[in-house]
């Protein structure tokens, strides 16, 4: 399942991917079907827009006093009250869920990319003997960092 890439509240208007996701789609037999099935399960439960909205509301309620302190101490650069920011976030999440539904349905119905040939075991890099002979670092060691 693709992860967020920290873009929920500021998403690009394109599908975000990386080498791992492309390899899974290309080399993972049944990956697209498994991803589609799991997405549907999650959307019917914890990733339902109403369920996510309710969770955001519970967290908002827990943070209310802290948010007031935060704004008093550091200001509110966004200009919106905390409750307004949460409502905006919930709308954006609901919109992105629909976009993900559409994109994952499109990807599931598309032909899978060609499968790469398997890499022979002899060609898989392994650590050299020097790497295996190094002792484990001491507990609490900082590796020169303070």
* More reliable by pLDDT, 3 or 58: 58
Dihedral sign, Cα of residue 78, residue 79, residue 82, residue 86: negative
Contact 69, 106 (CB under 8 A): no
Supply φ then ψ for residue 44, to 5 degrees: -85, -5
Over residues 122-136, the mean pLDDT reads 50
| pLDDT exceeds 80 at position 11 | no
Most confident segment among 23-32, 38-47, 129-138: 38-47
Q: Give me the pLDDT at residue 58, please.
A: 94
> Considering the entire predicted model, what is its pTM?
0.61
| pLDDT exceeds 70 at position 111 | no
| pLDDT exceeds 80 at position 27 | yes
pLDDT tens digits for 57-98?
A: 999 899 888 988 888 888 887 778 888 888 988 998 898 888
Q: How many CB atoms lie within 10 A of CB 104?
A: 20
């Amino acid at each position: 399942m693709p992860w967020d890439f920290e873009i929920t509240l500021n998403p690009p208007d394109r599908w975000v991917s990386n080498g791992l996701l492309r390899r899974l789609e290309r080399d993972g037999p049944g990956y697209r079907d498994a991803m589609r099935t799991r997405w549907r399960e999650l959307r019917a439960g914890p990733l339902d827009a109403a369920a996510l909205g309710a969770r955001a509301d519970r967290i908002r309620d827990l943070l209310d006093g802290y948010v007031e302190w935060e704004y008093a101490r550091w200001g509110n650069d966004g200009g919106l009250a905390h409750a307004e920011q949460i409502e905006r976030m919930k709308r954006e999440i609901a919109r992105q869920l629909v976009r993900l539904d559409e994109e994952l349905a499109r990807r599931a119905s598309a032909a899978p990319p060609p499968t790469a040939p398997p890499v022979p075991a002899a060609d898989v890099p392994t650590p050299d003997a020097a790497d295996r002979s190094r002792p484990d670092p001491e507990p609490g060691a900082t590796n020169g960092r303070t």
